Each structure stands twice: as C-alpha cells, then as structure tokens.
Amino acid sequence: MAEWVLHVDMDQFIAAVEVLRRPELAGRPVIVGGRGDPTERAVVSTASYEARAFGIGSGMPLKIAARKAPEDAVFLPVDHEAYEEASAAVMAALRELPGVVLEVIGWDECFLGVETDDPEAVARGAQRAVLDATALHCSVGIGDNKVRAKIATEFGKPRGVFRLTADNWFAVMGDKPTRELWGVGPKVQKRLAAHGIATVRELADADESELIAEFGPRMGVWYHGLGSGEGPRGVDPTPWVARSHSRETTFQQNLTTVEDVDAAVRELAGQAFDDCAADGRPVMRVHLKVRYAPFETRTFGRKLPSPTEHRDDVQSAAAALAATLDPAREVRLLGVRAEMTPPAEADGVERTPVRGRI
C-alpha cells in the first residue's frame, strides 16, 4: 500500500453555510462580506458560484461587487461563529474516517494523510462523510505530496476528485504560468519572468544557482523544486499554535487627528494583547499596519524592551510606534498586531516556506 496526501477543500464554503440556513437563497447570487452593506468600505469574503458568474470574487470591494451584481443578488454580513461551527463539524467528520491523519490548514480546508491502494475511494468517502454530517460539498485533490494534492484540488472543483502525481505533473502543469503554483504570487512571477521563466516547465528546467542568486538559498531551492511539483509529504495532526494575534478594523472614515489615531491604536493593541493573554503567552513585539494614499500598505514593527504580560506596555509601544508615522503623508490606520514569544518548536515535520498557515 502507498502513502497518499489528500487535500480537502470546501466548495464556496462561506456562501454555502449561509445558503444552508437560508434555503430560500439557493440558486441566487449570494455575496458575503463586511457588515453586508454594499455601500460601506469592506470586501467580499466569498461569492456563490451564481455571483461569480457576474465577475464577483473574493477580495473585491463590496461597492464594486454591488455594481456588477444583478437585482436579485443578496449581500450578507460575515458571521464568524457560524463558519467556525461548520468548520468544526467538517473536521470532526473527516477525523472519523478510518486510518487518516488530519492537518487543519484553514477554516475550509485540510490535508489528510492515508495509506491505501485506492485513494479515489478514500476521497469519495471523505466527500460523503462531510456531506452526511453537514450537507456541505467539497472537492478533493489527491497527490504524492502536499504541493501536488493542493494544486490537484483546483482541477476537481466543484464537487470532484483529481489526482496529480509525478506521473502526470508536467502533462497537467508544464505549460501553465508559474503564478498557478502554490506560493508564487504576482511579485515572484514577475521576478521569474525577468529570468525568462514563464511556465512551470521552464521553472523546473531553470538553473538552480540562478534562482538561489535571485531568491536566496531557501526560496531559490524551494521555487526550483516547485517547478517539478516537489514538496513535503508529512501530514502533521498537531493542533496549530498561533505565533501572533492581530486586530484590524476598517474605519468608514479616515482618522484625521493625532488624538483619534492614538485612541484607535490603543484600542486595537489592547484587543490584540487580550488574544495573546488568552493563549497565556507574553507579547514581545508590536506591528502597525497602515495605508499611505493612494494605495500603499506598509507595516512597521518594534520590539518591546522585554516580553510583557501587561496590557499597558503593549498599548504604549503601539502608540509610540504610531507617533513615528510621517505626518506629512495622508495615512490610514488598518490595524495592530501583537507578536508573542515563540512556542516550543514542533519537531519531526518538514516545514514549508509557503506563507500563511500550512
């Protein structure tokens, strides 16, 4: 029997959860984001397939979505608790599958590690288990490592199963742009293109030393391997431990006075601190996320003199950081992050330089 990695990804998860508790919305374009008011500053969290047909997608400002949306479209507010509950039910159903190891990587997706000669059967079983437990549909990617399993899922959507291994990697992915690889964003795509690397096959065939010179020893090697679909195989069931917590908020009107900015920074820093305190870990660093007009997002960090468990220390550090912002530029506060002292290292599992949770 062989070791397989399955990637389970819920189909239009947030929209599907909303339709589930409002069955009358089935078949209509559903757009979830912000407080559900498309005249406010906020973006789309998830759009149903019906809404996507009108060019509406995740990350799009609600105001833009409202212009594209047909008359029967429905805008709904984000309801974190409902999605967390649905997510927990999905994961619980999958954990009960015989012989699987489960690693949660987001609200609506996870990896399953399983030893089997028929991974498609396991994938169909996973879809059935999730559907029976929650009435939600998902797609499953099957791979011989995490990278291939993750990418495979896109070819399975919606409600399907797709297998991507070393055997069909280049047939499926060879001619695709590098941007379609997991962990390659617009900036890296551009830097690769400057080296004459536009496709996945060209990345696989590239000179590794050239990639190391461009991206550094770790990322250079990682990107080169990514061209061939290489990646880690280990599925780690250890519960995820946060390294930091942040609080961001969208101000409907930009803050204009020093006093307003100071008060808002202290409020957000206090909330971020509370999240760290709930984890029982001291805070060692604070970050400010701001936007300079017209559209330049920047973060500024500052290390605290020593790790602290006092709310005031974190608030003061954030306020001091805010006081260093360039007063000559129009700046909009986005949020505050509190970084905790690091957790004990999880060992025995290969780390992946894909940003965000894995």
Comparing CB distances to DNA, the nearer of 50 and 339 is 339
Full DSSP string of 193-247:
HTTT--BHHHHHHS-HHHHHHHH-HHHHHHHHHHHTT--------SPP--SEEEE
Chain residues in the site for DNA (CB under 7 A): 34, 41-43, 45, 58-59, 61, 63-64, 105-109, 150, 182-189, 215-220, 242-250, 275, 291, 294-295, 297-303, 334-335, 337, 351, 353-357
CA distance 32 to 60: 11
- Which one-letter DSSP state was computed for residue 102? E
Q: Vertex 163, ends 162 and 164: CA angle to 5°?
A: 120
Question: Which residue among the candidates 50, 109, 202, 339 is catalytic per the annotation?
Answer: 109
- Which one-letter DSSP state was computed for residue 295? T
> Is the distance from CB of 148 to CB of 165 less than 8 angstroms?
yes
Q: Tell me whether residue 248 is one of the annotated catalytic residues.
A: no
**Considering the complex, what minimum distance in angstroms separates the CB of residue 301 from DNA?**
5
CA distance 192 to 182: 15
**Considering the complex, what minimum distance in angstroms separates the CB of residue 335 from DNA?**
5
Comparing CB distances to DNA, the nearer of 23 and 294 is 294
Comparing CB distances to DNA, the nearer of 104 and 172 is 104
Please measure the distance between the N-terminal and C-terminal CA atoms of the chain and give it in whole angstroms.
Answer: 26
**Considering the complex, what minimum distance in angstroms separates the CB of residue 165 from DNA?**
19
Comparing CB distances to DNA, the nearer of 118 and 309 is 309
CA distance 340 to 279: 9
**Considering the complex, what minimum distance in angstroms separates the CB of residue 118 from DNA?**
26
Comparing CB distances to DNA, the nearer of 148 and 150 is 150
Phi, psi of 97 (to 5 degrees): -65, 140
**Considering the complex, what minimum distance in angstroms separates the CB of residue 244 from DNA?**
4
Q: Which residues are catalytic, by number? A: 109
